[in-house]
Each structure stands twice: as C-alpha cells, then as structure tokens.
Structure 1
Amino acid sequence: MRKIVVLLTVVFLSSCSGFLEENVRGIISPNNFYNSDQEAIQAANGIYLGMRANNLYGGWQGLTAFTIFGSDEAMPSRIFGGLGAIMDYNLTETNYGNAYTIWRDLYGVIGDANSVIANVDGNEKLTVPVQDKVIGEALFLRAMAYYHLTALWGDVPFFTEDLPLDEVAALGRASKEEIRTAMIADLKRAEVLLPSVNEGSDLGRATKWAAKFLRTRFHLWEQDWASALASSKDIIDNSPHALMSTYGEVFDVNNQFNQEAIFGFDFTKDVPSNAQDITDSFNPRLRDEPKNANLRNEFAGKLNDLGEEFNGYGLTVPLTDLVESYPTEDPRRPYNLMDQYLGYDLTFTYFTKRTNFDFVNSPRYNHGEWWITMRLAQVYLMAAEAANELGNTDEALTYTNEIRRRAYGTDSPVAAADQSGIRTAIQDELKWELAGESERRYDLVRWGILVETVRNSSYGIFKGPENIKDYMVKLPIPQEEIDLNPNLLESDASNNGYR
C-alpha cells in the first residue's frame, strides 16, 4: 500500500484550552497506523489543524482576506502583501494575493480527509462510536474545504477517494453544482454520525448542528430555499443552541463556548504550532495609535496598567462605507465599530468584537481564544432569507425581527413590507449583525450584487471600484497549478475570464 502524509496530533485534555496541542508531520503507512481509537482521533485532529493553518482560518491573509475584503465591509489600513491586489481588483494568475496558498491548503485538507475516511470506515480495529465521530468530522471538514473552493473559484477539481497524487494532479474541473450536491449528501451523513453536543476535552469539535449549518450555506448558494429554510428551522427549534440575551455577551472572552456559538476554531495559548495571528490583524498596533501621536507614551502607560497592549498589525478595519452607513442608534454599533479607546481618539476605526488587547492571556502570535465562525444569529437570518425568497414574508420578518429585538432590547421591526424591501432589510441586517465575522463577500456574490456594490463603495486608497469587472466574482486559478496540471483549462480556457 502506498504511503500517505498524515498530520498527527496529541490530544490536550483541558476543555477550556482546546483539544489540539501539537502538530507532528510524518510519512506513515496506513498499515502501521489506525490501529486504535486514539490513533484515529489523532488523524482527525490533523484535519482540524490543516483547516486552522495560517493560510486558512489561522492567518490574517488567509480566508478572511477573501471573505470580507473586496466587499462593502472591510479594508486593510494600509497596502500590505497581497491585500492590495484584493482591494484593487487586479488579481491575476500570478498576482493572486495569497490565493495560491489557500487553494493548496484547502486541497491538503481534502486529501487528509479522504485518507482518514478510507482508513477509518469499516476498520475493525476501531470501535463503532469512534469510527462514526471521526468519519463525521472528516466529512464536515472536507465539505468546508469544498465550500470555500467553490465559493472562490466556482468549478474546481473534485475527488472524494484517497487517490494517488499523480491522479489528483491530472484532474480537470468539475461543476460547482455537482460538488455542492455531493457535499450536501455528505453533510447529511455527517449529521447522523456527529454528536448533538460536545463536552469536556471535545469542546470545539464539530457537531451535527455545525454540519447542518454548513449544509444550509450550500443550499443558499444553490438557491434551494425550501431546504435552506427547513435546515435552519431545525437548528433554531431543535438544537441546544440559543441566542444570548444581549449582543455583547456573544463576544465575552470569558464565555466563548456560549450557547449561541455553533462552531469555530480553538486556539490554545502556549502550545507548540499554535502560531495563530488572525486576531493580530484585527488588533490595533501601538505605532498607529492614538490619533495624537504626542500622547502615545501616555496611552501606552494606561494600557499597560490594565494588562493590555495594542500589539497587532491593525490591518483589518471597517470600510468607510460601513462606518458611515451603520445606524448610529443601533446598540450593536459600539461592539462592531471602535474609534476611541480609554477616551483617546484613534487614527483608525476597528472591529471591536474581533479585538483582544489582553497581552497576558492573548499575546501577539500566541492567542488563547476560540474564533467563532458559525453562530445562531446567522441561522435566523438564513431562515429569513430563505422564507422571503419562498414568498413567506411574514415568516421572514419574524426571524429578522427576532435578531433586531435582541439587538435593541425591545421590538424594533424592519420598515419593509414587500418581498423586495424585506430582501434588502435582511441583507442589511446581516451586515450589521455579523460585521467583520462572516462571509460578506460570499453573500454579495450569491446575491448577484458584488460588482455593483463595489462600484458604489468608497475604497479610499484602493482602486477596486474603478477596476472591478463582471468576471471578477471568481478568482483565477493560480498559474502554478496550471503549470502542473494543464487539464485545469480544459473546460474553461479563459480561466474564469482572466485570459
């Protein structure tokens, strides 16, 4: 049997600090592995580690750069690395703004998941409960990888078997519809295999509700409104998740595994290979703040007295359009937009809820926190969108106004009555509720309004509104991949319009 690359991990048995401790890479034959439940769990942990790598969910130029930049939500505070290419909409096959490493690492996750499933499914050396859990997690994480690939590139190579590398390297592109249909089926299987809740050392792992959340996202992309509504309602009505009583409680660093949080990536402080810097992108840097540079030493002293520090890159900041359009009376605004701190005016506005200035427990490059990527409020708004597209406007308003009621602390219904007005209201509500934490650019692509939205936005020093073309809703496949596999151009010689 051919040898495969497996990411091995050691389980960290403290529930509050995560289940991944270290990452050891090695070339291992399946004949010498998967001999116990613990080894199967270690292999599953390796897939999680792949997904939370710096080029994906762990880094500031990973997936976040392509989900909120290039929209009407966020921008870099300065030109840095590949971020300028994203904001300028001048991405090419060779000037790809880190897209190549995202492509590569997502397929790394898929390859690892395929290997785990092939070696765990039906393995008589493993107990059935562990087989179920590991396979369910692998299906979920593989579907997540294909979710991002199809959202960013559309049609991409597709394989779910543990194929030799030479076969993978010759695959052409499959249609995004085929891939999404297959992933929906896989997620339905994962929902059966995964637990409803995780406790103790398993906190932070995928559950059936995380799988159902991701399946709902696929349904929205495919405009299968009935299925999206049904799965959303199932989460709302039957899951153990509930909206926190106030908006601010969702982002309490002392209660990150709260009832509203459905899934995220847990980063543990002082653990080898943690190297997580996504929070640094949202944290201000002291050299930029406060606005009055003459007060910098005074400001730094006050931060230090609180055990705090502006110790990040300060690269991810709200777009001016978001700052100017966010309703001033909305109680969520101060949790999303911060232009003052400790009474000092700041040079930039920041996403408050994504910052963490605690340099003791969350120092630079070494954050100990859970990065939430799925939460129940978004499910309510997905249900609202699906209901509205089905013509169930009353139901859509019910779900939307529930989120507004939590935000305002009292009834504050949207001022819309017909389907078109409610559609716009839901789109705005997603913008206010999930600012800086979701997939705004993906949503604009889904709704077919990315190009017009960017053209009508103010990008400051960046040229996106002037440069964006209709085909730029997708990314070009990187030239490095085409050089290795010319079959990638077989079904589309234009490479998504970039040739």
Structure 2
Amino acid sequence: MKTKNIILYVFIVFTYFGCERFLEEDPRAIVSPETFFASENDARQMVQGMYAILKNNSLYGQVGLDHFYDNGADIIEPNRAANFVEPIGNYSMNEALADVSVQKMSVSDTWKDLYRIIHNANLTIFRVAGNEAVGSQDVRDEIIAESRFLRGLCYWHIWSLWGAAPYYTEVLTLEEISVLGRTDEATIAAGILEDLQYAQDNLENQYDGDQSGRASKWAAAVIMAKIYMKQQQWQLGLDKCLEILNQSPHRLLPTYNEVFDQFNEYNAEIIWSLDFARDINSQFDPAFPGRSFAGNNNWRPSMFNPRLRDEPLNTDERGALGDALRDGGEAFNGTGLQVASKDFAEKFPTNDLRRELNIVDNYLGFDLVFPYIAKFWNLELDRSPRFNHSDNRMVFRLGDVALMAAECENERPGGNPNAAFEYIREIRERAYETQEEAEAILGLNQQQFREAIYDERKWELAGECHRRYDLIRWGILLDVVQNLEYRFWKPNENIRPWHVKLPIPLQELENNPQLLADDPTNNGYR
C-alpha cells in the first residue's frame, strides 16, 4: 500500500484524537457516515487511514512501540543519555512524564493513536455491515475483518501495556467515551480473541503487489497465539502456532541474513510487514525541518544507524571512516539511540552466525565505540536518507512462531522438550556451523529447555519488539533488569514491580476521572 492516497483520511476522519481537543468534539459532527460510506472505495480508504495511523512515530513509524517492548530490558540501550528515551529505559516514568511528547512520541501519543484506530474501526464496522453500497457480502466481510484485525491489534497493545483500560466496540460519542471506566483484562482479552478469529476466518492467506503491506489472516493468528501464551493456555497456543506453521504460505528461510534482506522485504518468512515509502509526508513540525510526522516514510532505521560523530573508536580515524563510507555510497548519519546493550553484546555467543547482524563492533575495518544491531541498518545515502527511509517495518515473522510452538510444546501438560526442539531445529541449524552446535539444547529437561528458550528468543528476535513482552509474561523482568549493568542511568536500581505496566497519562485521568476511580493507584504509579 505504498500510496499517497492513505493521507486522504486525515482530512476526513478524527484527526482531533491527536490533540488537546480529544474530548471537545462529536465525531458525528465531523464526518457524515451516511454520505462517506457510499462506496467500496470510501470504506477501503477508511481502512487505509487506520494503517496510516499505525505508521505514526508513536506506534510503528519510529520507535514508539520499541520503547515499551525493547528499551529497559537486556537487548537495547541508547548510546547516550537522551531525554526522550530515559523515562522508559531508566524506569523513571510517571503520570506527568507520560504526557510529555518529543517528536510526536510519548505514552500519551501511543495511547491516543491506538484509540484513534479503535474508534475508526468501530465506525467502519458499523457503517459497512449491511451496507450494500459498499459492495458484495464478500467485500463487506473482508473490510469488516480487516477493521476487526486492526481493532484487535490495538486492544492487544493496550491490554499488554496498560492491562485494564476502556474497552468499547460500538460507535460512541466523545461524551460517552469520556466517562468510560476500565474494563477488566479478561474481558478485553476475550474481545480481542473474538475479533482476531473473525479476521483469521475472513482475511486472505497473503496479499501481493501494492497490497503487500496489508495484514493477512496469519497476522491475526500470531496475536491470538501470543495471547494464549500470556494466559498460559499452552495447548491453545500450540494449536494456533501449528495452524500457522502447517497451513500458511510462509516458510523459514535457509539463512538468518536473508530474512533481513532490504531488497526482499516481502520474503517467505515475513508474515506481516508494514510498508513505507520515501518522500511521502503529511505533517511537518517546524522544530524539525525536513522530518515528517504521520507520513509514510520510516524513521526507524535512523534510530539504529550510527552517528559519525560517535565513531570510530580511534577518533583520529574519523575522517578515514567518513571517506570509506562515502566511497561506498553510505553514511553514518543516524542517531545511534538504539544500540546493542552492554549485556547483550557481551553474552551473544561468538559461534552463533546470527551475531554478525546483531553485534557489529567493526565496520569497514574500523573498530567502533558501540556495538550496533545492523539487521535494522540502512546506510545507503541515496536510497535511504536520514529520517526518510522506505524500509518496511517487520511486525511478525515465522521464526517467532516456530519459537512460540516450541515453548508451548515444552510447557503444555504432557509436553516433551525433545519434541519441542523439532519446531526450532531449522532455526538452530541455520544459526550454527555444525550439527553438534545446533543440537546442543537437545535432550534437556523441561526447566532446562525453558531457560534455553529464554535465550533462543533473545538471540533470534533481538530488537524486534518482543523482549519486554516476553520477560513480563515469563515473570522475570524484575530479576533480569536488576542483575544487569548498563552504560547510562540505573534502571537496575530504579525498576519496581509495577513497571510491568504503563501509567495512564495524566491528561487522560483529568479528562476522565472514572479511570482513576477504577484504580486509585494508576497501575501502581501513585
């Protein structure tokens, strides 16, 4: 969906959700559903608009979700004490800081954008159901399924990050929304699963061509499996993983490097990847000339790309490194705010072939100050300039599902660690030179294999927005963080048990006191 048409929705639907006027307007006064949902094209533009919000900096466009799912764990650290990543990475977050937005990115921005999509999905579902002007029943079913997927995805993030939260699936006015309390986690999870099962039943196996950025039925199945696993419903999780492994068109690639090939971004292992395009901007902030917010270009590679001012280790060689980069049409023009953590770099097995994409401490023969996660790099100056990348944003891939299946098999009643190993045999074999190394975790007991999976997910999925989610559902985030050494700050000293969730931002509490009435501690932050 690399198209400028996705920006059209900005001028039609619910842009007020991103500003202080969140509770001041009635959506029915802004949009006339009776006239807008008059064709299939209208409905599909609404769906495209929801994808556009997903690409905002607060979600998948920069490192909005990375902050919550990777930073403050044991894989990624910044290369300097940058203010806007400090509250999460250093566990100094509070209600007031949750409202502080830098580069259109904060806890509050993430909360608002997730609910913007939910609100738009509710409207789309309501107006498309039974509306023959939109198209045939099959067309309507697909549009509703995609809307329910996007709604389920957003509620999954809300459920994961905040736990109990406002939950609604009807078209409500802002006045009605402003008095909603927090729905319990079990009810939210049940609603998500219902939405996602409908999506799996009605979406396509995969989308090709200019539709490749759309989520397929298998993206819905991945989230369902993750929810079952967090609920420790291991057999249900395994069953869902096996549906994906056995019925989807996806397969594991022969090598780890091929998965991250920038010229094959829709490869067979990728279940869902959000597409981006260069030079497509919709909103500009005068404080950051040339940078777009809520556009369709990708910031994220710039966060992983090094800064030349930081490199190399021998500062006398900086000019030589710059020359060598330019000779290859490359540049160290990123921010370096997402580098491999000290702990991750020190512990990554030296005989693991995945290391070369996850720990880069020498480039073009120059020793570097920091270890970088190069699988997210794009240093090509002409094709991928700073803060204007066309690189896709990988969301789910089959390697993750194989690891999930192995974990479910090991944890389910009557599970067998050796049988669990077979689900990840291909992953291990492509990660090591010899069969002996690949099979080093074969023959373990349940607890030993459980701990092996902890590490295997760490090495395989580094920086792919799974780590804190995993550590939290395993119940070990506190123990892991307290036993780490960090370059900056003291997250190991600051972390507390309540940091497994985020606070609801102060502005939301002021707009809707019922949120605090339902939980006076605000997830432990007061």
TMscore range, shorter length: over 0.9
Q: 1:461 aligns with which of 480, 488, 501?
A: 488
Q: 1:120 aligns with which of 105, 111, 128?
A: 128
The yes-or-no answer on 1:382 pairing with 2:382 is no
Q: 2:31 aligns with which of 16, 19, 28?
A: 28
CA contact (8 A) 2:9 2:46 kept: no
Residue 424 (structure 1) shift: 0.5
Q: 1:442 aligns with which of 463, 469, 474?
A: 469
Question: Aligned equivalents of 2:375 and 2:7: distance in 1?
Answer: 26
The yes-or-no answer on 1:363 pairing with 2:385 is yes
Equivalent in the alignment of 1:207: 216
Question: Aligned equivalents of 2:431 and 2:145: distance in 1?
Answer: 34
The yes-or-no answer on 1:88 pairing with 2:93 is no
Unmatched tracts of structure 2, length 5 or more: 13-29, 101-105, 282-294
Residue 441 (structure 1) shift: 0.5
CA-atom RMSD in angstroms: 1.6
Residue 130 (structure 1) shift: 2.5
CA contact (8 A) 2:273 2:394 kept: yes
Residue identity in the other structure for 1:421 = Q
- Given the two structures, how large is their TM-score scaled by the length of structure 1? 0.94
Equivalent in the alignment of 2:118: 110
Q: 1:421 aligns with which of 448, 456, 463?
A: 448
Question: Aligned equivalents of 2:206 and 2:487: distance in 1?
Answer: 45
CA contact (8 A) 1:229 1:387 kept: yes
Q: 1:475 aligns with which of 487, 497, 502?
A: 502
- SS of 2:87 mapped into structure 1: helix
Equivalent in the alignment of 2:419: 395
Equivalent in the alignment of 1:4: none
- SS of 2:271 mapped into structure 1: strand
Equivalent in the alignment of 1:49: 52
Residue 492 (structure 1) shift: 1.5
Q: 1:405 aligns with which of 417, 429, 432?
A: 429
Change in CA separation of 1:163 and 1:22 when aligned onto 2, cut-off 3 Å = closer
- Cα deviation, 1:221-279, whole Å, max 9, x if unaligned, reads 11111111001011111110000111100001111100000012111112232243111
- Given the two structures, how large is their TM-score scaled by the length of structure 2? 0.89
Residue identity in the other structure for 1:401 = R
Equivalent in the alignment of 1:222: 231
Instruction: Using the TM superposition, name which of 346-355 and 131-140 deviates more.
Output: 131-140
Residue 113 (structure 1) shift: 1.2
Question: Aligned equivalents of 1:461 and 1:177: distance in 2?
Answer: 38
CA contact (8 A) 1:246 1:409 kept: no
- Cα deviation, 1:272-331, whole Å, max 9, x if unaligned, reads 322431111111111112222222222112211211111111100111110111100001
Residue 434 (structure 1) shift: 0.6
Question: Aligned equivalents of 2:213 and 2:502: distance in 1?
Answer: 31
- SS of 1:413 mapped into structure 2: helix
CA contact (8 A) 1:401 1:414 kept: no
CA contact (8 A) 1:284 1:312 kept: yes
Q: 1:231 aligns with which of 237, 240, 243?
A: 240
- SS of 1:254 mapped into structure 2: coil
Residue 410 (structure 1) shift: 4.6
Equivalent in the alignment of 2:289: none
Question: Aligned equivalents of 1:78 and 1:99: distance in 2?
Answer: 21
- SS of 2:11 mapped into structure 1: strand
Aligned length: 484
- SS of 2:486 mapped into structure 1: coil
Residue identity in the other structure for 1:206 = A
Q: 2:179 aligns with which of 170, 175, 181?
A: 170
Residue identity in the other structure for 1:70 = G
- SS of 1:462 mapped into structure 2: coil
CA contact (8 A) 2:121 2:151 kept: yes
- SS of 1:157 mapped into structure 2: coil
Question: Aligned equivalents of 1:19 and 1:165: distance in 2?
Answer: 27
Q: 1:101 aligns with which of 109, 112, 116?
A: 109
CA contact (8 A) 1:286 1:310 kept: yes
Unmatched tracts of structure 1, length 5 or more: 1-10
Residue identity in the other structure for 1:199 = D
Question: Aligned equivalents of 1:456 and 1:217: distance in 2?
Answer: 27
Residue 132 (structure 1) shift: 2.2
Residue 466 (structure 1) shift: 0.6
Q: 1:143 aligns with which of 136, 139, 152?
A: 152
Residue 28 (structure 1) shift: 2.8
Question: Aligned equivalents of 1:243 and 1:474: distance in 2?
Answer: 33
Residue 406 (structure 1) shift: 2.2
Question: Aligned equivalents of 2:383 and 2:140: distance in 1?
Answer: 36
Question: Aligned equivalents of 2:11 and 2:80: distance in 1?
Answer: 36
> Identity over aligned residues, as a percent?
42
Residue 392 (structure 1) shift: 2.8
Question: Aligned equivalents of 2:439 and 2:182: distance in 1?
Answer: 45
Residue identity in the other structure for 1:28 = V
Residue 138 (structure 1) shift: 1.1
CA contact (8 A) 2:7 2:52 kept: no
Instruction: Using the TM superposition, name which of 187-196 and 26-35 deviates more.
Output: 26-35
- SS of 1:125 mapped into structure 2: helix
- SS of 1:41 mapped into structure 2: helix
Question: Aligned equivalents of 1:498 and 1:422: distance in 2?
Answer: 35
Residue 12 (structure 1) shift: 5.0
The yes-or-no answer on 1:255 pairing with 2:264 is yes
- SS of 1:56 mapped into structure 2: coil
Question: Aligned equivalents of 1:82 and 1:150: distance in 2?
Answer: 24
Question: Aligned equivalents of 2:8 and 2:134: distance in 1?
Answer: 23
Residue 438 (structure 1) shift: 2.8
Residue 103 (structure 1) shift: 1.0
Question: Aligned equivalents of 1:355 and 1:72: distance in 2?
Answer: 20
Question: Aligned equivalents of 2:241 and 2:31: distance in 1?
Answer: 41
